[in-house]
Chain A
Amino acid sequence: MPEDTVTNVVFAGLGGQGIIKASDMLAEAAFRSGYDVKKSEIHGMSQRGGSVTSDVRFGREVFSPMVPSGEAQFMVALDSTQIDAARHVMRPDGLIFNPEMFLKDGQTFDDFDKNPGSPINRRNLNVALLGVLSTHLDLEESVWLEAVYANLPEKLHEQNAAVFAYGREVGKKA
């Protein structure tokens, strides 16, 4: 990416799905990589299941904390019903990552949730989608993992490293 470009990522979903956590992890990874970072979301009512979006912007210098219309290169949607509410911020060639990208023919998330051996489930989709996103961004994998760990209790580190790696594999193939 050219020096003066700002990377804009918008996260969209519903309260309780881990939107804020995921955007914290990206902001932290970019911050640890030495970038100027701004992250913005509206708190308040999100805990009661309403729509939540969070904007993360990083680059050499970032001004507004909110992504202007048509300027997001990426959207991480934790709930596909929420894509439309944030679509206006996407660049025409922007990429949208949503949970359905992990489903193979006929699979549902219930299949994942019920199977303890499954690499991902509904609760860790946020980290899995960050894994996908990470294959499109110029941030070191080790920094990503530091950022993921910094936002989770230690007993969840190993499991989420695997979830993140799974997301990366899916991202590389996509």
Chain B
Amino acid sequence: MTDTSGKNRMLLSGNEAVALAARDAGVALASAYPGTPSTEILESLATLGGPAQWAPNEKVAYEVALGAAFGGARALACMKHVGVNVAADPLFTSMYTGVSGALVLVSADDPGMASSQNEQDNRRYAPAAGIPMIEPADSQEAYDFLFTAFEMSERWKLPVMLRMTTRVCHSQTVVTPRAKGLDPLPTHFEHDIRGRVMIPGFARPAHRRLRAKLAEIYTWGETMPLHRRFDGSKKLGIITAGVCYVHAREAAPDASFLKLGMTYPLPYNMIKEFAKSVERCVVIEENDPYLVDACRAIGVACEGKAEMYRFDEMNVDRVRRILAHDESPEPVRPPGKPPQLCVGCPHRSALSVLKKLDCIIMGDIGCYTLGVLPPVDAMDSCVCMGASIGNGLGLRHVLPPDEARRVVSVIGDSTFVHGGITGLVEMAYNPPPTGHVVLILDNGTTAMTGLQDHPGTGVKLNKKQTHKLSFEDLARSIGITNVHVFTGVDPAGFEALVKQSLASEELTLIIARRPCLLSVKKQKAQPKAAAEKTNA
């Protein structure tokens, strides 16, 4: 929303601010796979008319963005924290190749796991991969820091990570955008075989080049304007970064602050001087003790947080407790109502049939994971996107035959494209003695993260039609003997099909194809919504 006072002020979520900055910074290509809390970056960029496209998974998204940056463009890749695990392979080596244009990776972490399967702290990736990392605290910084990230990336020809967290991504705060953006960079391919072909002989010097660049960035970082120091009371000094800064400012308004904008490489001298200037120095950070360990490693005497505060998000209450050394149990809040599969969701009936047949259900990630909760109660594992198929095959290989015959792998359509295809290849390559049954719950959308299209829907992020991946044809070409598409609503028919497939002891793929109720509603509402917009 825009202010009516004439001032160029907007109220934006952190994700919307990144999208706006991407457009203003002349990004030529932005690629991502959806994942909370990062999803709205590409959706907003697409709404702004920017060059945004969904990739089948985060590895591909990062590789596409890297390719664009090899060609001299400014490129953006966005993903949730666990997405970086998927993209980690190209990420690490892209630090050796560097880029010709500029590449920014947005990693959106989810402390407290509002909608994630783990609480990993992706700040650890920065030193591991050697990628410079900057952390915005609010939407204005998300906007500004994306520009800085591109400037850094262009100057050192290295990818740069903008590390966000759920509260920064989803909170709306006031943003004043730049009056003038950047022109897109001219694109062109320049051969640089030693620089980009990472065979050991070329990679060895490339690693040294990376370390030399990081040393330069370290020196620059000591004077960097993104770090901010506030000299308040000498009694208490707080070192912090990202959203923890605003919580801490509120909890301790009189304290001195060192707010770090770039958290890899860290400005060691700045930290040492700050710590020396105060009587008590406390590091406030969410999740892992990343900053406090780094401060201690350089001999800075500082306090961190008790282990109990590693879990879940930081907030003002918790900062107050940490500063007061309060390690008493935190008040227990009444639990909210958990989300559930929508009434009439097609996943419900399919999973209920597996439950009825006493299947061992290797599950996956998506709306259907909610089928683990009562009343459906039908899921035995959920690890990461695509794991259902490998997990199911592993079980089939080792279990006694009468148990092995009950194992089924259940996976959503978007998840199948993301990480399930290679599992199916494995199934044909190393078939278990009792065969196996994979069930794709094809509801025609990525429902969990808010109804995004994917290669299996044949529609792009900009809503244009494109090639539609056929799971049936794919499975047959992979070598799966039995491929069934079930579009019925009749549970008895579905039950008979599953029973027969389990009994056959062959390799079977069942595609249960029924649209997500919410996506049907949305599609019906869409033409209307568009008409409404033109009225307004």
Contact = CB atoms under 8 A, between A and B. Distances in A.
Q: Do A and B bind each other?
A: yes
B333 A27 contact: no
A66 B174 contact: no
Interface string B111-150: 0001100000000000000000000001000000000000
Given A48-B342, A85-B336, A155-B532, A40 B172 contact: yes
Contacts of B3: 31-32, 34
A4 to B, nearest CB: 10
A26 to B, nearest CB: 11
Contacts of B339: 15, 45-50
A158 to B, nearest CB: 13
A39 interface: yes
B166 interface: yes
Contact of B246 (A28, A47, A63, A150): A63
A59 B518 CA distance: 38
Interface in A59-105: 62-66, 68-69, 81-82, 84-85, 88
Given A85-B335, A85-B336, 15 more contacts: A28-B11, A42-B114, A43-B170, A44-B37, A45-B114, A45-B339, A48-B340, A49-B340, A64-B247, A65-B138, A65-B173, A65-B246, A68-B250, A68-B317, A82-B336
Of B114, B172, B249, B331, the most chain A CB neighbours within 10 A belong to B172
Contacts of A51: 336-338
Contact of B315 (A37, A44, A64, A84): A64
Task: Indicate the size class of the contact surface on chain B.
Answer: 35 or more
Question: Secondary structure of the B side of the interface?
Answer: loop
Nearest to B335: A85
A15 B4 CA distance: 31
Nearest to B168: A65
In the complex, the 8 A-B pairs of residues with the closest C-beta atoms, listed nearest first: A51-B336, A44-B115, A50-B339, A45-B339, A65-B171, A48-B339, A68-B316, A63-B250
Of A49, A53, A65, A155, the most chain B CB neighbours within 10 A belong to A65
B492 interface: no
A153 interface: yes
Interface in A141-174: 146, 150, 153-155
Contacts of A82: 336-337
B250 A37 contact: no
A63 B249 contact: yes
B250 A50 contact: no
13 contacts: A32-B4, A42-B114, A42-B115, A43-B115, A45-B115, A48-B370, A62-B173, A64-B249, A64-B316, A82-B336, A153-B536, A154-B532, A155-B532
A32 B5 CA distance: 7
Nearest to B169: A43
Contact of A38 (B173, B529, B535): B173
B55 to A, nearest CB: 21
Interface of B: 1, 3-5, 9, 11, 36-37, 114-115, 138, 166-167, 170-174, 243, 246-247, 249-251, 315-317, 331, 333-342, 367, 370, 450, 518, 529, 532, 535-536
B535 A88 contact: no
Given A31-B11, A43-B37, A51-B337, A66 B315 contact: yes
A14 B340 CA distance: 12
A65 B331 CA distance: 21
Contact of B331 (A34, A39, A45, A88): A88
B1 A68 contact: no
A27 B535 CA distance: 24
A70 B249 CA distance: 18
A100 to B, nearest CB: 19
A155 B535 contact: yes
A11 to B, nearest CB: 13
Contact of A150 (B1, B173, B247): B1
Nearest to A15: B339
B106 to A, nearest CB: 17
Nearest to B531: A153
A3 to B, nearest CB: 15
A50 B36 contact: no
Contacts of A43: 36-37, 114-115, 170, 450
A50 B1 contact: no
Contact of B316 (A49, A66, A84): A66
A41 B170 contact: yes
Contacts of A81: 337
Contact of B171 (A15, A34, A40): A40
A63 B337 CA distance: 29
A68 B341 contact: no
Contacts of B246: 63-65
